[in-house]
């Protein structure tokens, strides 16, 4: 039975953040979702990649029905309406492989060439492997995706001017506020994206404050960056002190709500406040943006900033595409060989005893196996030729080489 390698999901190109956040998965979510999804009939291998810009499933399935069952079950487990599926994409075969290679290489990122995706891709695979959701195909796909990513980074200049979403968030703050040297900035969250943002902010001499649910983590980051710490439980009380609030946490709920900001802006006598929410799901209530002198930007708003410095990286992206398709060709060749491996094993097993006593048959087996490996698509025809050659051998006719038979077929 032919198995289909596929990629399905939503990303910043297919769905707005309010839809992506419904499917967004934390590390714990991945551990919860993958085991039941892997047990769906017809699903052979599976991994789940969830970042601020995408939630995508890569896998191997027996047929389209199995993939459809997988998608419906994912929506059920996440408690999402099936109609949101219209914002998703589906790819199979070499197009799916090319997509995975592009994602791992940063060619599909909002900020083309950013390399943060590599670590996210590694983590997604690591969880899937730990849960026994990967096998021969996805293990190979992962290995080749990382090889492709490395080639794109080293053989093109795409990473030279590449910036992360965290950097774009800070660029947006500069655009709105001008110089950040006098700005008081509050970083809510101390994860990887927040830490990157904090480092950029510090270079711009912003007055940096950090708050996090885990106080010790906020203290650790503030010591590293020379910032100040605000206790998380005091966020509402001191929110009015800050000009820019950059939010990046893994919370499933709003951390900053309408009431909290309404109170803060009044305390500031309506001096402008800027909120940049790079969390998915969003951590700042979208209603906050309706308040006077409050400006709210989410992850999708960063795309415009990212596109301004895109021209040079787009030229390098074309070079990256050549590398991607070179690697896709190699992977699909391997997939073809994988499909005919059973044929080769069957031939060797079935004719083992004859091979031992008949040198002519042994030569035929060697020839047909070599030809199948060279041209997997011709496996069925080559087997028929092989059987005819064996029949001819048994009737005492002179034995031609298998490839001569192929040429004349």
Q: What whole-number distance in Å separates Cα of residue 403 and Cα of residue 375?
A: 11
Q: Supply the pLDDT for residue 399.
A: 39
Same domain, 8 and 155: yes
Alpha carbon distance 121, 242 (integer Å): 35
Residues 243 and 183 sit within 8 Å (Cβ to Cβ): yes
**Residue in this structure with the two tokens 């927040």, named with its chain if needed:** 194
CA distance 117 to 140: 19
Give a yes or no: residue 341 inside a domain.
no
> Is residue 151 in a domain?
yes
Show which of 272, 299, 334 is a domain's final residue: 334
**Claim to verify: residue 326 and residue 381 sit in the same structural domain:** no
| Global confidence as pTM | 0.71
Per-residue model confidence (pLDDT) at position 297 = 87
394 part of a folded domain:
yes
Looking at the domain assignment, is residue 342 inside a domain?
Answer: no
Distance CA 390, CA 343 (A): 17
Within a domain: residue 214? yes
Residues 41 and 179 in one domain: no
Q: What is the CATH number of the domain that holds 117?
A: 3.30.460.30
Distance in angstroms between the alpha carbons of the first and the last residue of the chain: 26
Decide: 69 and 41 in contact? Cβ < 8 Å. yes
**What is the Cα–Cα distance from 272 to 265, expressed in whole angstroms?**
8
pLDDT computed for residue 347 by the predictor: 62
Kindly report the backbone phi and psi dihedral angles of residue 50, in degrees, each rounded to the nearest multiple of 5, phi listed first. -130, 120
The answer to whether residue 52 is catalytic is: yes
Are residues 268 and 356 part of one domain?
A: no
Structure tokens at 222: 């503030």
CA pair distance 119, 106, nearest whole angstrom? 11
Mean pLDDT by 10 residues, the chain (409 residues): 86 92 92 96 96 94 94 94 90 96 92 84 96 95 95 82 70 78 85 75 84 89 85 92 89 91 93 88 90 87 69 77 92 80 62 56 64 63 60 50 40
Helix 192-203 × helix 215-225 angle, to 10°: 30
The answer to whether residues 108 and 129 belong to one domain is yes
- Give me the catalytic one of 17, 48, 49, 52: 52
Q: Are residues 26 and 70 in the same domain?
A: yes
Given 273, 308, 343, the domain boundary residue is 308
Indicate if 403 and 320 belong to the same structural domain.
no
Q: Are residues 129 and 169 in the same domain?
A: no
pLDDT of residue 311: 66
The reply to whether 299 and 372 lie within a common domain is no
The predicted pLDDT at position 388 comes to 60
Asked if 108 and 342 touch (Cβ cutoff 8 Å), the reply is no
pLDDT tens sequence across 125-179: 999 999 999 999 999 999 999 999 999 988 887 776 556 677 777 877 787 777 7
**How many other β-carbons are positioned within 10 Å of the β-carbon of residue 359?**
9
Residues 125 and 146 in one domain: yes
Q: Provide the residue range defining the domain that includes 357.
A: 351-407
Nearest to 320 by CA among 148, 163, 145, 144: 148
Domain-located, residue 248? yes
Q: Quick one: 152 and 287 in the same domain?
A: no
Q: Could you report the per-residue pLDDT of 277-319, keeping only the tens digit for each?
A: 888 888 999 999 899 889 898 888 877 766 666 666 777 788 8
Q: What does the pLDDT read at residue 351?
A: 56
Domain annotation covers residue 345: no
Q: How would DSSP label each residue in 119-160?
A: HHHHHHHHHHHHTT---HHHHHHHHHHHHHHHHHHHHSSTTT
Is there a single domain that holds both residue 16 and residue 152?
A: yes
Flag whether 383 is in a domain: yes
Total domains in the chain come to 3
- Give the end of a domain, one of 251, 273, 308: 308
């Amino acid at each position: 039975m032919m198995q289909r390698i596929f990629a399905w999901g939503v990303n910043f190109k297919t769905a707005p953040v309010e839809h992506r956040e419904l499917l967004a998965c934390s590390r714990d979510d991945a551990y919860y979702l993958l085991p039941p999804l892997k047990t769906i009939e017809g699903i052979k291998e599976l991994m789940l990649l969830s970042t601020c810009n995408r939630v995508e499933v890569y896998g191997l399935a027996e047929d389209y029905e199995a993939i459809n069952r997988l998608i419906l079950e994912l929506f059920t487990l996440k408690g999402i309406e099936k109609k949101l599926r219209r914002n998703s994409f589906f790819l199979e075969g070499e197009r799916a492989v090319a997509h995975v290679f592009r994602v791992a290489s940063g060619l599909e990122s909002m900020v083309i060439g950013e390399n943060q995706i590599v670590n996210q891709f590694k983590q997604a695979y690591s969880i899937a492997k730990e849960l026994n959701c990967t096998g021969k195909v996805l293990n190979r796909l992962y290995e080749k995706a990382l090889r492709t990513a490395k080639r794109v980074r080293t053989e093109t200049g795409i990473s030279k001017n590449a910036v992360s979403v965290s950097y774009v968030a800070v660029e947006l703050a500069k655009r709105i506020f001008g110089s950040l040297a006098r700005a008081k900035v509050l970083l809510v969250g101390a994860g990887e994206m927040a830490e990157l943002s904090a480092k950029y902010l510090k270079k711009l001499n912003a007055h940096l404050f950090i708050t996090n649910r885990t106080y010790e983590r906020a203290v650790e980051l503030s010591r590293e960056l020379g910032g100040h710490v605000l206790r998380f439980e005091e966020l509402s009380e001191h929110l009015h002190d800050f000009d820019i609030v950059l939010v990046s946490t893994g919370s499933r709920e709003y951390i900053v709500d309408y009431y909290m900001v309404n109170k803060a802006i009044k305390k500031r006598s309506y001096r402008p406040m800027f909120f940049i929410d790079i969390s998915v799901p969003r951590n700042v209530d979208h209603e906050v943006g309706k308040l006077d002198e409050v400006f709210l930007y989410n992850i999708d708003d960063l795309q415009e900033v990212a596109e301004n410095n895109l021209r040079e990286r787009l030229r390098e992206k074309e070079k990256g595409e050549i590398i991607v398709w070179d690697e896709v060709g190699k992977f699909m060749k391997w997939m073809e060989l994988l499909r005919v491996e059973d044929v080769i094993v069957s031939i060797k097993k079935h004719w083992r005893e004859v091979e031992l006593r008949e040198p002519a048959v042994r030569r035929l087996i060697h020839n047909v196996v070599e030809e199948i490996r060279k041209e997997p698509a011709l496996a069925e025809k080559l087997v028929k030729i092989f059987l005819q050659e064996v029949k001819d051998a048994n009737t005492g006719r002179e034995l031609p080489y298998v490839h001569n038979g192929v040429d004349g077929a």
